[in-house]
Amino acid sequence: MTTNAKKGRIFSGMRPSGRLHLGNHIGALQNWVNLQQEYECIYCAVDIHALTDSASKDATSQIKPNIYEMVLDWLAAGVDPEKSIIFVQSHVREVVILHGILSMFTPMGWLMRVPTFKEKLRQLDATEHTVSYGLVGYPVLMTADIILYKADTVPVGEDQLPHLELAREIVRRFNHLFGPTFPEPKAKLTTYPLVVGLDGQSKMSKSLDNHIELAASPDDTTKKVMKAVTDPNRKFLSDPGRPEVCNVFALHKYFNPDKVDQIHQQCTSASIGCVQDKQLLAKGINDKLNDLRERRQELASKKGLVEEILMDGAAKAQTIARETLGQVMERIGLA
């Protein structure tokens, strides 16, 4: 990786919850792949963050297999270990120390205000008293991830924007207290930063089971698409549809870009029904992802490949991490 010609340094992470879905790909992963040309890129499987969702031995034992499945998706999509550093968060333990240090300078009020925290409390049916300490500090660990590598650009989906807002606040505070040390990280969104799930209600996500896996079989993909909710007002074939409220149409924009105007016209004039429309989408998804899916199978047959990539990545990441942590210790007077 040559630093000079590059625009800056990218860091991003994903929680290893298994195989990725279309939302992860369209909302973040395609940017991870494209940005490799212009930036120095570091991509991380954030297994410590995954512990916030896994408070049982059964759940924690899934994290390692999930890392493997997720990294295969990254590689199949085109994340290239020759160009980028790919590693597992817990393999570079400096991040835990930096997280601890940053937590001393982060007011609780900032953390309690983060909208994703409030949403998570609702989801878990928890209160500020029962929720884990780690979940409150989730964005502090995320900040530590990013600034340990002095990254300035963070490709993520729209749901992560509040976390990056907080990361910038923490960086500003640290730089103010101890002198300029870290760049303020900014988000980089794709053109589709929020992919709605097949229920048409909320963002596509595995936990809501409204998703299609990136590496699903063509058959599974078609079955799932056929069950997708479309415009709820369109009860009969003769009713004109409203593409702007239809999540199937939103996916056409990505998977059938050359047919999207025609589909819009046919839907609003009721000359195409939702079933035919969904068949077109399923075909668009299967055609577009065919190469990725084949590549994934090929990569999965190479024993030890993922492990080797992650070991190599951790060694490279650690060199940067040690240097940053050394500098932080000096700045705060603990060196």
Cβ atoms 62, 21 nearer than 8 A: no
The mark string for 46-65 relative to ligand TRP (x by CB under 6 A, - otherwise) is x--x----------------
Among 13, 27, 81, 193, the residue binding ligand TRP under the rule CB under 6 A is 13
Tokens describing residue 67: 């890392």
Judged by beta carbon distances under 5 to 8 A according to partner kind, the member of ligand AMP, ligand TRP, none in contact with residue 146 is ligand TRP
> Which phi and psi angles does 186 have, rounded to 5°?
-115, 150
Closest CA to 71 of 29, 26, 39, 31: 29
Among 11, 87, 174, 182, the residue binding ligand TRP under the rule CB under 6 A is 11
Tell which positions 272-331 bind ligand TRP, by CB under 6 A: none
Q: How far apart are CA 298 and CA 218, in angstroms?
A: 17
**Binding region for ligand AMP (CB under 6 A) out of 154-162, 164-172, 179-187, 314-322:** 154-162
Give the CA count within 13 Å in the CB-facing half-sphere of 294: 6
When the beta carbons of 209 and 287 are compared against ligand TRP, the nearer one is: 209
With binding defined as CB under 6 A, does residue 66 bind ligand AMP?
Answer: no
Q: How far apart are CA 289 and CA 21, in angstroms?
A: 12
Nearest-approach distance from CB 213 to ligand AMP, in angstroms: 12
Nearest-approach distance from CB 307 to ligand AMP, in angstroms: 22
Strand partners, 44: 13, 87
- Calculate the alpha carbon distances from 80 to 221, 309, 325 in Å: 26, 10, 27
With binding defined as CB under 6 A, does residue 153 bind ligand AMP?
Answer: no
Q: How far apart are CA 288 and CA 176, in angstroms?
A: 48
When the beta carbons of 46 and 317 are compared against ligand AMP, the nearer one is: 46
Cβ atoms 197, 246 nearer than 8 A: no
Contacts with 260 (C-beta within 8 Å, 6 or more apart), sequence order: 252, 253
Where is 11: in which H helix or E strand? strand 9-14
Among 9, 10, 15, 90, the residue binding ligand TRP under the rule CB under 6 A is 15
With binding defined as CB under 6 A, does residue 41 bind ligand TRP?
Answer: no
When the beta carbons of 31 and 160 are compared against ligand TRP, the nearer one is: 160
Ordered DSSP codes for 106-162 = S-HHHHHH-HHHHHHHHHHT--TTTS-HHHHTHHHHHHHHHHHTT--EEE--GGGHH
With binding defined as CB under 6 A, does residue 15 bind ligand AMP?
Answer: yes
**Binding region for ligand AMP (CB under 6 A) out of 155-163, 237-245, 306-314, 317-325:** 155-163
The mark string for 161-180 relative to ligand AMP (x by CB under 6 A, - otherwise) is --------------------
Q: Which residues bind to ligand AMP, rule: CB under 6 A?
A: 14-15, 17, 23-24, 27-28, 156-157, 159-160, 193-195, 203-205
What is the contact surface with ligand TRP in residues (CB under 6 A)? 11-15, 46, 49, 142, 145-146, 154, 156, 160, 163
